[in-house]
Structure 1
Amino acid sequence: MPSQKNDRNKQPGGEAAKRYQAVQEMTSNGEYTVSETAQAAGISRQAYYKWLNRRLSLREQQEREVLEEI
């Protein structure tokens, strides 16, 4: 039986996604490196870049379209 923690981290809005978003925000201005922030967030650089370059789900695409219309 899979643990709840693993299930939660695989969801688009799960804890891991929040960590990736935090790394993205902190590195966007160039003040911190991906290595520094990923280590602090407890994720690997490889996992961060995989998340960054992922394909958006149909739901995420639809949400972006709605936000653009608003």
Structure 2
Amino acid sequence: MIVKVSIYYFIYTFKTNTKGEAPIYCKIAVNGKQKRFSTGISILSKLWDATKQKGKGKNLIAEDIKKMKSSQ
């Protein structure tokens, strides 16, 4: 049996906080069944690269996201 797993990071721009930061969510799909959850990290929308699914630049949040993605 082949197991297909995909992991996708995205931000909810409609859930911005008072600082203008949007929460980063993770979506994991295993054989078509999906689970979404918050990472507990928020980022300014202008610092999020949706195509690369990571923070732009060299800031603490971008570095944290790189660590999360590399540990998978």
TM-score range, shorter chain: under 0.3
- Between 1 and 2, higher relative CO (CA 8 Å, sep ≥ 6) is seen in 2
Which has the larger share of strand? 2
TM-score (norm 1): 0.27
